Structure 1
Amino acid sequence: MPALNRADEFGTDLEIYRHYSDKAVYADSRTGASERLLKLLDAQGFERNVLPPLYVWHRLPDTLSPDEERQHATRSMAAGTKAGYRVNIAPELFDEATYSEAMTARNSPVPHPPRGLPAPGAAPRRRS
C-alpha cells in the first residue's frame, strides 16, 4: 500500500512543510495518529482537516505572516519533540530563536493562554 502522506512516507509522526502548489504550511501526521498529537497541533494554531476514513492533516491559516508561520511551525515541532514524537520540519520553516525558547520553557508542550486567563479546565484561584 502506498504512503498516504509525508509522515507515513518518511516514517515519522509528524512532517511540517510548505506545499509547493498553494504555498500553505501543512502538518501531516502519520495514519492513525493519536488524538493527543492531533490536539497538540490544534493548540499550536493549525486547522484540522479530515478526509474519512483515514486521512487527517493540519494547515496553518492563510492570514499569518511568514514570520508567524515559522513561529507556529517551529513551536509545533518543539511541542511534538517534547511530547516524544518524531518530527521533521522543512528548513525554511525552522526558527532557531523560537525553538530555543520553546524547548527551554518550563511549561507543557501545549501553550498556556495569555496572562490573566485561566488555562482550559483549570480551577479558579482562591484568594487567601
Structure 2
Amino acid sequence: MSLADEYDVDVAFYHRDATIYVDTRSGASEHLLGLLDDLGLNRHRALADVWHQVPDEMDEIAMKSMADRAAPLLARAGYQVDIDAGLFGGTAYRTALAEQAAHRQPSPPAPRAAPPRRTR
C-alpha cells in the first residue's frame, strides 16, 4: 500500500532522507505516471510498487521548487494531491496559483430576481 492509498489521494509528495518522493495510488493510470515523468520526476519500480522521486542531483532548493510547481499542475489536471507542509508554499507555488487564477473563467453574473408580483 502506498502513502497515497493511506491518505486517500491520487498523489502524495513527502520529504524523507534529503529526497522528495511522490507516491501514487496502487494501480495508478499510465496517464498519471506519464504526467509525473513529463514533470521531470524520476520513475522507480520495485516488484509491484511504482513511485517517483525528484532527481537526486538537484540541490534542496531546486527539489522543493520542482515539487512546488508540480503539485498545483497535478491538482489543475483533476488529481487529488497531498504534499508535506514543508515542501509547499514557496515562490513557485505562489506563481503557479497566480497563473491558475489568471486562466480561470470569470463566474457568470448572478441571475436577477424577478420583481414580486402584486396580487389584489
TM-score by length of 1: 0.71
Matched, 1:79 2:98: no
Pairwise CA distance, 1:36: 1.6
Paired position in structure 1 for 2:118: none
Paired position in structure 2 for 1:57: 51
Counterpart AA for 1:33:
A
Paired position in structure 1 for 2:33: 38
| Number of residue pairs matched by the alignment | 100
Counterpart AA for 1:32:
G
Q: Secondary structure at the match of 2:52?
A: strand
Paired position in structure 1 for 2:9: 12
TM-score by length of 2: 0.75
Matched, 1:98 2:95: no
| 1:40-94 Cα deviation digits (max 9, x unpaired) | 2112221001123x31100112211111111111111111100011101111111
Structure 1 gaps of 5+ residues are 107-128
**What fraction of aligned residue pairs are identical, expressed as a percent?**
36
Q: Decide which structure has the larger Cα Rg and report it.
A: 2
Structure 2 gaps of 5+ residues are 101-120
Paired position in structure 1 for 2:108: none
